[in-house]
Every structure is written in C-alpha cells, then in structure tokens.
C-alpha cells in the first residue's frame, strides 16, 4: 500500500524553482521522508531525506510540515537535466524502499 | 560517494536461456542488497532482498526458482533469470547501502534485458 500521495506530473520553467508536494498523512514517529529521482533509463538517485526539520543540501531543499503529514521538495533553480520522475518515500532508516508512482517533472525551456 | 556497479548494462538473450546480472558495491560493504524490476512507464517493483551469506527474501508473487539470487560476498550480489521468456524482458536494477552508515540507498545503473 502506498504511504505517500504525489501528483502524477508537473511542469516547471527552466530557471524557476520546482516545488514538488507529497502527502504522507500516516507517517509514523520514527519514519523518515526520502526523495529519489529517476532520470529516463537510469537507476534512481537519492536526493535528500528528513525526519522533522527542514533540510538542505547541494541538490535540493526539503520542507516538512510541523505535523509531518506532508512535505515539499524544492529544486531552487531547475534545469533541463532535472527532468525526471521524483519519488517521495516514507520509511524507517534501514527498511527496504517501496516505490510509488512518483511525480513526472517536466522542465520547460 | 558510494558507487554501485551493475553489469551488463544491457543484454539480449534467446527464450529458454538463462541470464546473470551482477551488482557490485565498489567502495563499501553491503550485507543487504535489493533487486527491482521496472516495466516501461511503470514504477520500480521490489523483487527481493539479497542477504549476504543467507537466502534471499522474495516479495510476494516473485518466483524464487526463476529469479535466483546469490549474495556470496559483501560486495557482490547476482540475479539469474532462468529459462527466460519474452515477458521477463524488463529493466532490472539493484541497490545497496553500507548498513549503519548514513541514509539513502545507492542504485546501480540498471540492466535492460530483452528476451527474443
């Protein structure tokens, strides 16, 4: 059963911030929110994770609501190379990853 | 960063033959690796968890006699598709992480299997 809900697809103009939402209303206290992306015909790539606090790394920022029932992945300056399927996953740290359908992000030139 | 190497990147085989796919963790030891497959325009589906030195754990609906998994060392897991048929044509992907170290799994680049 999917633990997360994401929009099927989104468009974003090149150079703008891409904001990808994810709902995870049944998340448990010790479960993390992970984001991965898969560029066409490649293996998925880990982007970022968080537990309660907002997080930022060289790739993206992760904003988690205070009740932890939803989160947003932010790609601050989207480029054409960010076109991919983005997966929001909720799991315990060492658990296997079960992928949902993800969000297909199109970056428009 | 952590690198997972998968080989071959693509393979074409005749129906009825077997194909072996290798997954190696290049700069870390992985007691656990995961195998997925992905059909066109679909998400990744977890097939099995590969455990070093013990039997793999298969997800419901995955035939363990058809998809043989061997994890003989801390850096290598293999998936053998036995008696392959055209419906086994798919994109097979492995992942791994050094247990207890950091977060997030590293994925291989995938193997595209075509059975003719």
Three-state SS sequence of chain A: CCCCECCCEEEEECCCCEEEEEECCCCCCCCEEEEEEECCCCCCEEEEEECCCCEECCCCEEEECCCCCEEEEEECCCCHHHCEEEEEEEECCCCCCCCCCCEEEEEEC
**B109 contacts in A (CB within 8 Å)?**
42-43
A101 to chain B nearest CA, in Å?
5
* Residue B62: burial class (beta carbons within 10 Å; 0-12, 13-18, 19+): middle
How far is it, in rounded angstroms, from Cα B95 to Cα A80?
26
Bridge partners, A4 (sequence order): none
B18 to chain A nearest CA, in Å?
23
Q: What is the mean pLDDT of residues A16-24?
A: 98
Average per-residue pLDDT for chain B: 94
According to the model, what pLDDT value does residue A95 have?
86
In tens, the pLDDT along B41-65 reads: 999 999 999 988 889 999 999 999 9
**A87 contacts in B (CB within 8 Å)?**
43
Question: A53 touching B, CB under 8 A?
Answer: no
**Closest chain B residue to the Cα of A103, Cα to Cα:** B43
Among B6, B34, B104, the residue with its CB nearest the CB of A49 is B104
Q: What is the mean pLDDT of residues A10-19?
A: 98
- Is A93 a residue whose pLDDT tops 90? no
Give the CA distances from residue A66 to residues A18, A51, B56, in Å, rounded to whole numbers and listed in that order: 21, 11, 39
**A32 contacts in B (CB within 8 Å)?**
103
Pairing of strands B19-25, A32-38: unpaired
Q: For the CA atoms of chain B, what is the radius of gyration?
A: 13
Local structure of residue B66 (DSSP, 8 states)? T
At B7, phi and psi to the nearest 5? -145, 135
According to the model, what pLDDT value does residue A2 have?
59
Distance of CA A33 to the CA centre of its chain: 8
Predicted confidence band at B33 (pLDDT cuts at 50, 70, 90)? very high
How far is it, in rounded angstroms, from Cα B14 to Cα B12?
7
Question: A2 touching B, CB under 8 A?
Answer: no
B106 to chain A nearest CA, in Å?
7
């Amino acid at each position: 059963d999917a633990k997360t809900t994401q929009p099927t697809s989104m468009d974003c103009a090149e150079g703008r911030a891409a904001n990808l939402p994810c709902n995870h209303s049944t998340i448990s206290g010790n479960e993390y929110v992970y984001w991965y992306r898969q560029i066409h015909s490649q293996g998925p790539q880990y982007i970022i994770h968080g537990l309660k606090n907002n997080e930022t790394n060289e790739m993206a920022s992760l904003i988690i609501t205070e009740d932890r029932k939803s989160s947003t992945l932010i790609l601050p300056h989207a480029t054409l190379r960010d076109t991919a399927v983005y997966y929001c996953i909720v799991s315990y740290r060492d658990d296997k990853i079960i992928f949902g359908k993800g969000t297909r992000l199109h970056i428009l030139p | 960063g952590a690198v997972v190497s998968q080989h071959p990147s693509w393979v074409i085989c005749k129906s009825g033959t077997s194909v072996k796919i290798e997954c190696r963790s290049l700069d870390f030891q992985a007691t656990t690796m995961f195998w997925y497959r992905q059909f066109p325009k679909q998400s990744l589906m977890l097939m099995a968890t590969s455990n070093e030195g013990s039997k793999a754990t298969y997800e419901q609906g995955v035939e363990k006699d058809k998809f043989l998994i061997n994890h003989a060392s801390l850096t290598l897991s293999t998936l053998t598709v036995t008696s392959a048929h055209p419906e086994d044509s798919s994109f097979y992907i492995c992942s791994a992480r050094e247990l207890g170290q950091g977060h997030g799994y590293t994925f291989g680049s995938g193997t595209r299997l075509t059975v003719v």
